[in-house]
Amino acid sequence: MNYITQDKLVILGAAGAIGSNMTQSALSMGLTPNVCMYDPFEKGLEGAAEEIWHCAFPEARVTWTTDIKEALSGARYLISSGGAPRKEGMTREDLLKGNTEIAAQLGKDIRAHAPDLTFGVIIFNPADITGLTTQVHSGLAPGKIGTLAALDSTRLQSALAQHFGIPQDQVENCRTYGGHGEMMAVFPSRAKISGAPLTDLIGTDRLSHEDWEKILERVKQGGKRIIQLRGRSSYQSPSHQSLLMVKAVMDGQGYPWPSGVYVDDPATGFEKIMMAMETELGPEGLTWSLPEGDNEEQNALRESYRHLAKLRDEVIAMGVLPPLEEWSRVNSNL
Amino acid sequence: MNYITQDKLVILGAAGAIGSNMTQSALSMGLTPNVCMYDPFEKGLEGAAEEIWHCAFPEARVTWTTDIKEALSGARYLISSGGAPRKEGMTREDLLKGNTEIAAQLGKDIRAHAPDLTFGVIIFNPADITGLTTQVHSGLAPGKIGTLAALDSTRLQSALAQHFGIPQDQVENCRTYGGHGEMMAVFPSRAKISGAPLTDLIGTDRLSHEDWEKILERVKQGGKRIIQLRGRSSYQSPSHQSLLMVKAVMDGQGYPWPSGVYVDDPATGFEKIMMAMETELGPEGLTWSLPEGDNEEQNALRESYRHLAKLRDEVIAMGVLPPLEEWSRVNSNL
């Protein structure tokens, strides 16, 4: 088996559906044989690790541990799906506090045990904010931590392909930016349907305004729809797309979707935030540029930014993130 | 993305944990972009299919259907995990009858809609018997239907590697044959631990007889142990190993583990059965030979055969399989 690298990849939350899928897929996609599974839930972790061993991947060196120091030591890559899910009776604020506290601790653990991390992907909700929190506390440079933002775009691509009855890859340049899910900013102006501009089709017999609105709503509720259909949260597509992000850093072959990245650009007014921009992903991590779009799209992006900034400020008020003016002291790379 | 083939692969039971994992993995392992997901549970099937679409595999042509004719038409490969699980209050016989009836119908459906099938893998329990039932009713030649038998061997390999604290692939020639799980016949005489014969180590300080018995028991109960640890049946390793079987037929690069295969060899006394033998898996499907082993191992294999033959005879008595003397009339290839 040809693996891209021998570097250590840590999967945090490896006992869960996403994390165990990621471990299997990292090996079957040939990323690295050196995978460490971490989860505080020891019993489930052992069960997931046994499953991976029973797959018998050639040359695999799969380890598992409940000790975060052991997990992170020597790690060059990590993906964390290890947040707590929202439970009955929990408010949105409870979830935000709980998961950003996990993210803050992860950032501190990275600083202590994996300061040479090449790239990390944060995918537990709300990922824009947990990713930002990890970035600040990790001490790492911008671009070394990213969040999974592709699923809004791939869901839009899927919904359009199904509407038009065409193969998925005939829907090109499908792009959403900003925050994930309900906060997303859709950029339809450059999308093409079998080569034809999508915006030329909206409002015609082929795609009425009503149908377009329905598609957008379906994409925004994409995660909820999976829960309704499967009785559980989406886990396969987050796993696969997160691994493609790591793969792009490992092999330098690029990644075709927008990612969430640390943005601090007073010139454009997007400051101290993590959000999906037009991004490139390579051996040095993420770099970003402002997406091209018309006024309506740019306004949607700014609105998405304002929403994220409000969430960020809530987390600062909770004491989980330091006040903005202290960020460069906590992380000299910011 | 380079796929091995463009031929149609059908995943039966695609709404389930195994089947949806197989669909994702078939694509990420690059087997074929042409995957059809079949399941009678429409809602779950749509949810699983949506997840796969959201992965956005390049060039993928993933379809899903609850119509078995549509699923099988034009199929060259199939894997079926689509049996019913054992439910509260169900006897072993209830499960045997229910799942072999599903297998018999699958065989008839293959005969009607996919007579040119290149290779099919049956993995729902008891797989030796459901595979046999599918083989008989399908009309296909021996070797075109196989069952997943590797997990006993990979579990033994894993347990030995963990006992000796060595990487998994330093345990070589780990082999179990015959029936799956509690019916398995272990062949330790050719296994090597970092190059040393396993049988030289059994009964020494490095591996006491007691520890060896514990390891064997753990392997026999491997499936149950996953349920205890994870709260659910094993689904990742069955998925991965089944796909490797299909991959071997697609790419001709071989498959390193024993598979269940149709065996009818009066000379050796193994007649009209499906069981794991030493097998080769290539573009024409499975061929088998009698495993090498000492008397004790050969006796264990015969005992496993007798157990399977008894189950087969129960299924004949249920009317799901025809009497042995009618098999060649039902399937002229047998």
Q: What is the pLDDT of residues B58-99, one digit of tens each?
A: 999 999 999 999 999 999 999 999 888 777 777 778 889 999
The amino acid that residue B30 corresponds to is G
Digit-by-digit pLDDT tens for chain A (334 residues) are: 799 999 999 999 999 999 999 999 999 999 999 999 999 999 999 999 999 999 999 999 999 999 999 999 999 999 999 888 777 777 778 889 999 999 999 999 999 999 999 999 999 989 999 999 999 999 999 999 999 999 999 999 999 999 999 999 999 999 999 998 788 999 999 999 999 999 999 999 999 999 999 999 999 888 889 999 999 989 999 999 999 999 999 999 999 999 999 999 999 999 999 999 999 999 999 999 999 999 999 999 999 999 999 999 999 999 999 999 999 999 999 9
C-alpha dist (Å) from residue B171 to A57, A77, A214, B85, B194:
13, 28, 56, 33, 6
Q: In the numeric block, which tokens belong to residue B161? A: 């590697």
Residue A242 counted as domain residue: yes
Residue A50 is predicted with a pLDDT of 97
Residue B229 counted as domain residue: yes
Residue B256 counted as domain residue: yes
Residues of A in contact with B19 (CB under 8 A): none
Residue with the two structure tokens 């599903």: B102
Q: Do both A185 and A327 map to the same domain? A: yes
Residues of B in contact with A231 (CB under 8 A): 44
Q: In the numeric block, which tokens belong to residue B311? A: 């189950």
CB contact under 8 A, A241 and B55: yes
Contact A259, A140 (CB under 8 A): no
Q: Do both A121 and A184 map to the same domain? A: no
Percentage with pLDDT > 90 across chain B: 92
Residue B3 counted as domain residue: no
Contact A134, A110 (CB under 8 A): yes
Going by the DSSP 8-state scheme, the letter that residue A12 receives in this structure is E
- The residue out of A125, A147, A169 marking a domain boundary is A147
Q: Do both B58 and B141 map to the same domain? A: yes
User: Could you report the per-residue pLDDT of B161-207, keeping only the tens digit for each?
Assistant: 999 999 999 999 999 999 987 889 999 999 999 999 999 999 999 99
CA A157 vs. chain centroid, Å, equals 18
**Nearest in space to A7 (alpha carbons), one of A219, A283, A253:** A283
Q: Do both B63 and B155 map to the same domain? A: no
CB atoms near residue B1 (< 10 Å): 10
Residue A1 is predicted with a pLDDT of 76
CB contact under 8 A, A222 and B54: yes
Q: What is the mean pLDDT of chain B?
A: 96
Residues of B in contact with A51 (CB under 8 A): 226, 230, 234-237
The reply to whether A46 touches chain B by the CB within 8 Å rule is yes
Residue A211 counted as domain residue: yes
- Distance between CA atoms of B260 and B9, rounded to whole angstroms? 20
- Distance between CA atoms of A307 and A288, rounded to whole angstroms? 20
Q: Are strands A285-289 and A176-178 parallel, antiparallel or unpaired?
A: unpaired
Domain count of the fold of chain B: 2
**Nearest in space to A13 (alpha carbons), one of A61, A81, A66, A74:** A81
**Residue ranges of A 141-200 with Cβ closer than 8 A to chain B:** 150-151, 154-155, 157-158, 161-162, 167-169
Residue A134 is predicted with a pLDDT of 98
Residue B90 is predicted with a pLDDT of 77
User: Could you report the per-residue pLDDT of B237-294, keeping only the tens digit for each?
Assistant: 999 999 999 999 999 999 999 999 999 999 999 999 999 999 999 999 999 999 999 9
DSSP-assigned states of every residue in B119-172? EEEE-SSSHHHHHHHHHHHH-PPTTSEEE--HHHHHHHHHHHHHHHT--GGGEE
Q: Do both A265 and A177 map to the same domain? A: yes
The reply to whether B259 touches chain A by the CB within 8 Å rule is no
- The residue out of A101, A127, A147 marking a domain boundary is A147
Q: Which of A25, A55, A151 sits opposite B54 (nearest CB)?
A: A151
CB atoms near residue A163 (< 10 Å): 18
Largest CA distance in chain A: 59
Contact A156, A184 (CB under 8 A): no
Q: Where are the beta strands (DSSP E) in A195-269?
A: 196-197, 259-265
Residue B187 is predicted with a pLDDT of 96
Q: Is pLDDT of B153 > 90?
A: yes
Q: Do both B110 and B155 map to the same domain? A: no
The reply to whether A254 touches chain B by the CB within 8 Å rule is no
Residue A1 counted as domain residue: no
Residue A2 counted as domain residue: no
Contact B69, B113 (CB under 8 A): yes
User: Could you report the per-residue pLDDT of B25-55, keeping only the tens digit for each?
Assistant: 999 999 999 999 999 999 999 999 999 999 9
Strand, helix or coil at A84? Answer: coil
Q: Do both B293 and B200 map to the same domain? A: yes
The reply to whether B61 touches chain A by the CB within 8 Å rule is yes
Q: Do both B13 and B28 map to the same domain? A: yes
Q: Do both B267 and B288 map to the same domain? A: yes
Query: Which of B218, B236, B245, B251 is the best substitution to test chain A (most A C-beta atoms within 10 A)?
Result: B236
> Which residues face B276 on adjacent strands?
B178, B260
- Residue A100: give its domain's CATH number: 3.40.50.720
A239 conformational bin, left if phi > 0, alpha if psi -120 to 50, beta if neither? alpha
What is the chain A residue with the closest CA to B152?
A: A54
CA distance B107 to chain A (A): 28
**Residue ranges of B 72-111 with Cβ closer than 8 A to chain A:** none
Q: Do both A185 and A242 map to the same domain? A: yes
| Mean pLDDT on B304-322 | 97
User: Could you report the per-residue pLDDT of B227-246, keeping only the tens digit for each?
Assistant: 999 999 899 999 999 999 99
Q: Do both A59 and A141 map to the same domain? A: yes
Contact A134, A217 (CB under 8 A): no
Q: CA angle, A300 as apex, A298 and A304 as ends, to 5°?
A: 115
Can you list the alpha helix ranges (DSSP code H) found in A144-208?
150-164, 198-201
Q: Do both A142 and A188 map to the same domain? A: no
- The residue out of A147, A167, A197 marking a domain boundary is A147
Q: Which backbone phi and psi does B162 adopt, to 5 degrees? A: -70, -40
Residue B89 is predicted with a pLDDT of 77
Q: In the numeric block, which tokens belong to residue B256? A: 């390193």
> Which residues face B266 on adjacent strands?
none
The amino acid that residue A50 corresponds to is E
pTM of this prediction?
A: 0.96
ipTM metric: 0.96
What is the chain A residue with the closest CA to B170?
A: A59
A298 conformational bin, left if phi > 0, alpha if psi -120 to 50, beta if neither? alpha
Contact A278, A148 (CB under 8 A): no
- Distance between CA atoms of A175 and B163, rounded to whole angstroms? 50
Query: What range does the domain containing A30 cover?
Result: 8-147
The reply to whether B24 touches chain A by the CB within 8 Å rule is yes
Residue A37 counted as domain residue: yes
- Residue A237: give its domain's CATH number: 3.90.110.10
